């Protein structure tokens, strides 16, 4: 990974990846929405409200994935001092928070007709809400210090400590008796969901992943530019003080 630590090399590589990731995101999200909203059948029990699943489930997957990626980037920054790892973690946080918030909102919309309530203190819902707070805490902490390095280090520690919540979200339906249904896509014996519903679900998942890659590249490039500006300004301040 250190071969990509050079910002110039990262910028060259990202310039190649970005058009492809953006195209995959647009195509998969467009196809996923078409299949999910128009082509797939309504559920025999839930009716058309099941279509919320095509946004809710991939959002939940991405909320957990982005936090895991953020924790990995933070570990790379703390252990191996990877120069770009902190920037990638910082760039991932807003997107992960947005996916987590979208998961909670769509889950609430889905829960009302299914459970009769907008919100219940279900184990998975509660742990997902904690994940959103962890994202918000990370973003607040990384900007809480005048010295960017201190803020990045403190936020990286929070990201690593909060990573324990990800397996709790994943296995909460197995560990506790909850209203939330267990896994129906990734499970032993294959997916327990019809192909007509699985296809748009997977298309949306791929589209969200490609969207994350695209936004990550854009935000990382912006963070690199901000870091360069900060370095130049600090050099000017030191030169003026002398």
Which residue bears the tokens 């990201």?
159
Handedness of CA 79, 84, 87, 93 (dihedral sign): negative
pLDDT tens digits for 85-135?
999 999 999 999 999 999 999 999 988 887 788 888 888 889 999 999 999
- Angle of CA points 138, 107, 215, to nearest 5°: 45
* Long-range pairs for 113-122: beta carbons < 8 A, 24 or more residues apart: 113/46, 113/49, 114/46, 114/49, 115/179, 120/179, 122/178, 122/179, 122/180
pTM for this one? 0.88
* Cβ atoms of 135 and 96 closer than 8 Å: yes
Residue 75 CB coordination number (10 Å): 17
Q: Are 207 and 28 in contact (CB under 8 A)?
A: yes
* For helices 165-175 and 53-79, angle between their N-to-C axes, nearest 10 degrees: 140
Does the structure show a pLDDT above 60 at 211? Answer: yes
Please state, in angstroms and rounded to a whole number, the distance separating the CA atoms of residues 61 and 13: 26
Euclidean distance between the first and the last CA atom of the chain, given in angstroms as a whole number: 39
| Residue 1 or residue 100, greater confidence | 100
DSSP secondary structure letters along 126-179 = HHHHHHHHHHHHHHHHHTSSSSHHHHHHHHHHHHHHHTTHHHHHHHHHHHS--S
Identify whether the C-beta of residue 207 lies closer than 8 Å to the C-beta of residue 55.
Answer: no
Helices (H), the chain: 7-34, 53-79, 85-115, 123-142, 148-162, 165-175, 195-241
pLDDT tens readout for residues 38-95: 888 887 777 788 889 999 999 999 999 999 999 999 999 998 888 789 999 999 999 9
Confidence band of 188 (pLDDT split at 50, 70, 90): very low
Give pLDDT tens digits for 165-182: 999 988 876 666 666 666
CA separation for the pair 155, 95 (Å, rounded):
16
Q: Which domains does the chain have, with CATH numbers?
A: 23-39+46-184+194-216 (1.20.120)
């Amino acid at each position: 990974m250190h071969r990509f630590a050079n910002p110039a090399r990262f910028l060259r590589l990202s310039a190649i990846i970005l058009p492809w990731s953006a195209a995959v995101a647009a195509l998969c999200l467009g196809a996923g929405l078409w299949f999910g909203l128009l082509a797939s059948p309504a559920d025999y029990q839930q009716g058309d409200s099941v279509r919320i699943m095509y946004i809710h489930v991939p959002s939940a997957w991405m909320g957990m994935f982005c936090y895991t990626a953020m924790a990995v980037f933070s570990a790379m920054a703390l252990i191996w001092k990877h120069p770009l790892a902190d920037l990638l973690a910082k760039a991932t946080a807003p997107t992960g928070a947005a996916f987590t918030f979208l998961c909670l909102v769509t889950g609430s919309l889905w829960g009302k007709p299914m459970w009769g309530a907008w919100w219940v203190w279900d184990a998975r819902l509660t742990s997902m809400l904690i994940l959103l707070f962890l994202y918000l805490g990370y973003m607040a902490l990384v900007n809480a210090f005048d010295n960017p390095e201190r803020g990045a280090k403190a936020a990286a520690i929070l990201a690593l400590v909060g990573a324990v919540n990800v397996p709790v979200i994943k296995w909460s339906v197995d560990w506790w008796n909850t209203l939330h249904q267990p896994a129906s896509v990734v499970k032993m014996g294959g997916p327990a969901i019809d192909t007509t519903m699985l296809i748009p679900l997977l298309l949306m998942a791929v589209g969200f992943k490609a969207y994350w890659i695209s936004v990550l590249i854009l935000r990382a490039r912006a963070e690199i530019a901000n870091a360069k500006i900060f370095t130049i300004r600090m050099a000017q301040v030191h030169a003026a003080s002398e």
